[in-house]
Amino acid sequence: MDNYSGESGRRIVTNTNGVNRFLTRMYGNMTLAVLVSALSAYLTMTVFANQVMTFFSAHPAMVWLILLLPIALSMGVSFSATRNPVGGFVMLMLISIIYGVEFALIAGVYTGTDIAAAFVSSAAVFATMTIYGTVTKRDLSRFGAHALAALVALIIAWIINIFLKSPAITYIFSFIAVIIFTVLTAWDAQKMKQIYVNYSDQNSMTGLAIVGALQLYLDFVNLFISFLQIFGMSDRN
């Protein structure tokens, strides 16, 4: 009995240490991705501003490339990171750089105050929900499934609004998006922890951490964009 109890205790400690290492690596990769996006946006707006504007003016179709390429790269990370962690990390960094360029292109529409307020708000919501999702014992899968369904409906409505061009609808959609990605942030944090606990013996910890970092990075990006629209349109009103 004593031997069994001791082995069980060591196993629990090992699992706890493994989870902590996984979470540290996942949030470290996610934080790095955010910093790379910030640096990319800063360089695009300052050092390479003229070159970037000249390039997109001469090649307007390239705007579609930077909009669609992150989607393809995200799929690549999701499908291959556990088998090729190095490739997954490189694709994550490419996604971060591209989104940084996108942020720089839209930053001119907003004031520095709007951008700062959006970043602080999204960071506060993100930190709160990731902590909650990581420590809570409550199963968030049902809430996450509802949030995913709401996100699909929101994307469809957003596409329709591209043709309607209604600022009021865009403003309302931004609040809905904040709610959706607040829920998804907590769910993704809990889901990745559970995936590691259940499947760490079958997959690379580094690869799983990269997949989780991508999901949380996208949650943060969408929170930031939604808050930016809210603060920006509120100032205009």
Residue span of the structural domain in which 156 resides: 2-236
Question: DSSP state, 61?
Answer: T
Compute the average pLDDT of residues 212-237: 90
Task: Give the chain's mean pLDDT.
Answer: 88
**Residue 9: pLDDT band with limits 50, 70, 90:** very low
Q: What is the pTM of this model?
A: 0.88
- 203-217 burial, b at 16+ Cβ within 10 Å, e below that, comes to bbbbbbbbbbbbbbb
CB 4 within 8 A of CB 186: no
Output the CA torsion sign for 95, 219, 187, 31.
positive
pLDDT in the model for residue 122: 96
pLDDT in the model for residue 131: 95
Q: What is the DSSP string of 179-211?
A: HHHHHHHHHHHHHHHHHHHHHTTTS-HHHHHHH
| pLDDT exceeds cutoff 60 at 4 | no
pLDDT in the model for residue 166: 86
Alpha-carbon separation of residue 179 from 9, 87, 114, 126, 150 (angstroms): 40, 33, 19, 12, 10
pLDDT in the model for residue 63: 82
pLDDT in the model for residue 237: 52
CB 198 within 8 A of CB 89: no
CB 77 within 8 A of CB 92: yes
| pLDDT exceeds cutoff 90 at 230 | yes
pLDDT in the model for residue 2: 41
Tally of structural domains, the chain? 1
Question: What tokens were used for 147?
Answer: 């949030």
| pLDDT exceeds cutoff 70 at 7 | no
Nearest to 192 by CA among 62, 77, 22, 68: 22
Tens digits of residue pLDDT in 128-172? 999 999 999 999 999 999 999 999 999 999 999 888 888 889 999
pLDDT in the model for residue 236: 58
CB atoms within 10 A of CB 111: 13
Nearest to 26 by CA among 151, 206, 178: 206
Tens digits of residue pLDDT in 39-67? 999 999 888 888 888 888 887 878 888 88
Sorted by sequence, the CB contacts under 8 Å of residue 21 that are 6+ apart come out as 205
| pLDDT exceeds cutoff 70 at 75 | yes
CB 33 within 8 A of CB 217: yes
| pLDDT exceeds cutoff 80 at 14 | no
| 2-6, 61-65, 195-199, 229-233: range with lowest mean pLDDT | 2-6
pLDDT in the model for residue 197: 87
